[in-house]
Amino acid sequence: MKYISGACESGFLKSITIAGALIALPMSSSAAGVTMDDINNDAKTTGDVVSHGIGNQGQRYSPLAKINDKTIKSLAPAYTFSFGGEKMRGQEAQPLVHNGVIYTTASYNRVFAINAETGMQIWAYEHRLPEGILPCCDVINRGGALYDNLFIFTTLDALIVALDTSNGKVVWKQSLGDFKAGHSATSAPIIVDGKAITGVAGGEFGIVGMVRAFDAKTGKLIWERPTIEGHVGTLNGKPNGMTGTLNATWPGDLWKVGGGAPWNNGTYDLETDTIMWGVGNPAPWNSHMRPGDNLYGISTIALDPATGKIKWHFQYTPNEAWDYDGTNHTIAFNKGKQKLAAHADRNGFFYVLDRTNGKLVNAFPFVEGHSWATSIDLKTGRPIEAGKRPGNPADSADGKKGAVVTVSPSFLGGTNWYGPTYSPDTGLFYVASNEMGMDLWNEPVTYKKGAAYMGAGFSIKPLFDDYIGAMRAIDPMTGKRVWEVKNKAPLWAGAMSTGGNLVFYGTPEGYFKAVNAKTGEEVWQYNTGSGIVGSPITWEQGGEQFIAVPSGWGAAVPLWGGEVAKQIEGINQGASLVVFKLY
């Protein structure tokens, strides 16, 4: 077995940004770096996992089948690696594996390199966070990217950082914005044509969303594309066209603090050479302040990876009023000759798009609670709203609080950031779904740098007494719900399907579960000791199939969940990576 040791040779000069200047640093070199071919073929190869989503197209599917619906009874932990210390909180990462080494992030922007066979730590890196960071939803991180001899990830103080995979030392850093103004970052970058591409978080503070592409080896900025109309992108330091048309769908000057943070990671479709990235809610939440569709908020935008220009877009919720962030994964898949993309939105509807042009193919609800709209018009792509917008504070007697509406889904969504999985074996998507509603009202708000810019209040509640979460198998072409497995608590973790006719997912109660991909029958479970909000992976090594999942309760639900959070109080926090194999 080969793995990266702590020993290395000094070699290439790289750079680090300090006070806006790129400064050269020595970089260690290794003969077995990750190539673009490795990344582009990640969904087909089984000896490693070198991209978020087990392939840039984001299907979260592995053809491995040694662990299957028959053999899984013999699945047991091979080892547990502790992230340790007092910094437990939510563990939302998806690990990566290359050359017998697991690379994963943990809460508070820590990174670990672990011997994949023994579970022993090779090195660890802890990013020093400044005072005054403004994360929305816990001190989580969702993982990183591998390219060449680098592990690249983003930080809560809005940096993108590249580490040497042989020793964990910093090779380069670049800024993604001013953390004091509300910029932060939690998502895993994707690697396309040698570029590390990432978004930024902070829409609730009125920052303007941006997708940026950096040279993955040097950290040099190549292009940036604002995600709110009126702002101008750049290519190699020069203006490269405005996003949209100034004031076409935004009034006055509100576009200047328009939100639209692309805070989740994107996907890349090699067949059409297109990056698909989800854009978050416009700011502020109070939609009465910003009449118009507010492009490109709550949209998937398709980007040219060479230039960052927008090829097409699809907006899920025009003039969005409920914080139905559009950042959920847009996943590439094919049906016959059709090149399609699927998106399960926080608004409770599942969309199928033609990924060559962004045209709507199908849309249907995947949750019971979708009271804000009755359906999606398949000709226009626009929702048929049901009169559930919160009232305008200006219409109230005191001007301080608009009329309250009770609406579902809640702003935590019918699903959220965590990836569904698509199995080409069954042709089904498997979506971790949640049935939550909310009382929602609008309030006046004025932008102030570094202050919450929402203009809304809320209270979240479960819709049903017997369950909140449900793993659902969905036919994207017919909208049929093939099966579902209900869960008392909400589901907040990524799923994975395999060639072994299995779907894996975790629960807040701490269970890592496997169900039959065709029937939904539960065939295996293991309690990891803390709630699971991370994403599993699988790979083959030394003739054995391994599965790994992070365990550690935290993130948005206990922070924002209202009555839902109260129902699941008492879940132990944790910070570990649990690795399984057959015995």
Q: Tell me the two tokens of residue 99.
A: 């050359």
Contact between residue 335 and residue 311 where contact means Cβ atoms under 8 Å apart: no
CB-count exposure of residue 478 (10 Å: 0-12, 13-18, 19+):
exposed
The pair of structure tokens assigned to 543 is 């003739």
pTM over the 0.85 mark: yes
Quote the strand ranges of 238-273, DSSP E.
Answer: 238-242, 267-269
Q: Please report which helix (H) or strand (E) contains residue 558, including its range.
A: helix 556-560
Contacts 24+ apart (CB under 8 A), 296-300: 296/227, 296/228, 296/229, 296/243, 296/244, 296/260, 297/227, 297/228, 297/258, 297/259, 297/260, 297/326, 298/324, 298/325, 298/326, 299/326, 300/276, 300/326, 300/330, 300/341, 300/343, 300/353, 300/358
The mean pLDDT of 136-149, rounded to a whole number, is 93
Window from 198-202, 331-335, 471-475, 565-569 with minimum mean pLDDT: 565-569
Q: What is the predicted pLDDT for the residue at 26? A: 36
Report, as an integer, the average pLDDT of 182-194. 97
Residue 115 to residue 534: CA distance in whole angstroms: 20
Burial of residue 37 (number of CB atoms within 10 Å: 0-12, 13-18, 19+): exposed
Mention every residue, 6+ apart, whose C-beta is less than 8 A from residue 235: 222, 223, 307, 308
Domain boundaries, the chain: 9-582
pLDDT tens per residue across span 410-450: 999 999 999 999 999 999 999 999 999 999 999 999 999 99
Q: Which two tokens stand for residue 263?
A: 């805070």
Q: What is the pLDDT of residue 566?
A: 83
Tokens linked to 282: 């416009």
Q: How far apart are CA 408 and CA 406, in angstroms?
A: 7
At residue 516, φ and ψ (nearest 5 deg) are -65, 125
Neighbours of 526 (CB within 10 A): 17
Sign of the dihedral defined by the CA atoms of residues 83, 84, 85, 86, in that order: positive
The span from the CA of 344 to the CA of 296, in Å, is 18
Q: Is 27's pLDDT higher than 60?
A: no
Which DSSP symbol is given to 218?
Answer: T
Q: What is the model's pLDDT at position 421?
A: 98
Residues in the chain, total: 583
pLDDT higher for 111 or 139? 111
The two tokens of residue 439 are: 């009382």
Write out the DSSP string of 487-520: ESSPP-S--EEETTTEEEEE-TTSEEEEEETTT-
Residues with catalytic roles: 323
Q: Alpha-carbon distance 525 to 510, whole Å?
A: 10
DSSP string, 34-89: BPHHHHHTTTT-SS-B-STTSSTT---EE---SS-TTGGGGEEEEEEEE--SS--S
CA separation for the pair 377, 355 (Å, rounded): 19
Range name among 20-24, 167-171, 453-457 with the lowest pLDDT average: 20-24
How far are the Cα atoms of 147, 148, 149, 315 from residue 33, in angstroms, in the given order? Answer: 7, 4, 5, 38
Tell me the three-class secondary structure of 157-198, residue by residue.
Answer: CCEEEEEECCCCCEEEEEECCCHHHCCECCCCCEEECCEEEE
CB of 439 within 8 A of CB of 390?
no
Which residue is associated with the tokens 């490269």? 240
- Report whether 91 contacts 552 (CB < 8 A): yes
Q: Is the peptide bond before 291 cis (omega within 30 degrees of 0)?
A: no
Residues in contact with 580: Cβ distance below 8 Å, sequence separation at least 6, in sequence order: 75, 76, 77, 78, 526, 546, 547, 548
The model's pLDDT over 38-64, given as tens digits with 9 standing for 90+, comes to 999 999 999 999 999 999 999 999 999
Place of tokens 């303007």: 208
Phi and psi of 388, rounded to 5°?
A: -110, 30
Quote the CA–CA distance of 325 and 204 in Å, as a whole number. 11
Examine the pLDDT at 29 and tell me if it is beyond 70: no
The encoded tokens of residue 481 equal: 């719900």
Q: Which two tokens stand for residue 424?
A: 């080409």
Q: Which residues lie closer than 8 Å to 354 by C-beta, 6 or more apart?
A: 338, 339, 340, 341, 360, 361
For 357-370, the pLDDT digits (tens) are 999 999 999 999 89
Q: What is the pLDDT of residue 538?
A: 98
Higher pLDDT, 14 or 268: 268
Residue 556 parent element (H or E): helix 556-560
From 236, 270, 335, 341, select the one nearest 299 (Cα to Cα).
Answer: 341
The pLDDT assigned to 561 comes to 79
Instruction: Please tell me the predicted confidence (pLDDT) of residue 565.
Output: 80
What superfamily does domain 9-582 belong to in CATH?
Quinoprotein alcohol dehydrogenase-like superfamily (2.140.10.10)
Please count the CA atoms within 13 angstroms of the CA of 304 that sit on its side-chain side: 12
Tens of pLDDT, residue by residue over 216-275, are 999 999 999 999 999 999 999 999 999 999 999 998 999 999 999 999 999 999 999 999
Look at strands 481-487 and 145-147 and give their pairing: unpaired
* pLDDT for residue 427: 98
Instruction: Identify how many contiguous H helices and E strands the chain contains and give both numbers.
Output: 3, 42
Q: Does residue 87 surpass a pLDDT of 90? A: no
Q: Distance between CA 71 and CA 394 in Å, rounded? A: 63
The pLDDT tens digits of the residues spanning 259-318 come to 999 999 999 999 999 999 999 999 999 999 999 999 999 999 999 999 999 999 999 999
